[in-house]
Amino acid sequence: FKITNSEHMTELKEKFRRMCDKSAIKKRYMYLTEEILKENPKVCEYMAPSLDPRQDMVVVEVPRLG
């Protein structure tokens, strides 16, 4: 929530915490780092046109994962 600037959404944060507790998920992994999100702020905004930045990230990052 800190990475996406959503700390103020406490109800949603609690909902995710309950979902993880009930599904026995111990750790949630997220590939998007703070650095990537700061370079592409539209990815974090609700209803922002973020398809182009996401596709640009895919071109660079997918070969690294493989």
- pLDDT for 3 beyond 80: no
Q: How many domains does the chain have?
A: 1
* Cα pseudo-dihedral 31, 32, 35, 41, rounded to 10: 170
Full-model pTM: 0.43
Report how far residue 64's alpha carbon sits from residue 44's, in angstroms, rounded to the nearest whole number.
22
Residue 4 domain-assigned (yes or no): no
DSSP code string of 25-45 = ---------HHHHHH-GGGTS
Q: What average pLDDT does the structure give for the chain? A: 78
pLDDT in tens, 9-39: 888 888 888 888 888 777 766 677 778 778 8
Report how far residue 51's alpha carbon sits from residue 42's, in angstroms, rounded to the nearest whole number.
9
The reported pLDDT for the residue numbered 1 is 62
Report how far residue 8's alpha carbon sits from residue 14's, in angstroms, rounded to the nearest whole number.
11
The reported pLDDT for the residue numbered 32 is 73
Residue 2 domain-assigned (yes or no): no
Residue 5 domain-assigned (yes or no): no
Report how far residue 54's alpha carbon sits from residue 50's, in angstroms, rounded to the nearest whole number.
6
Residue 27 domain-assigned (yes or no): yes
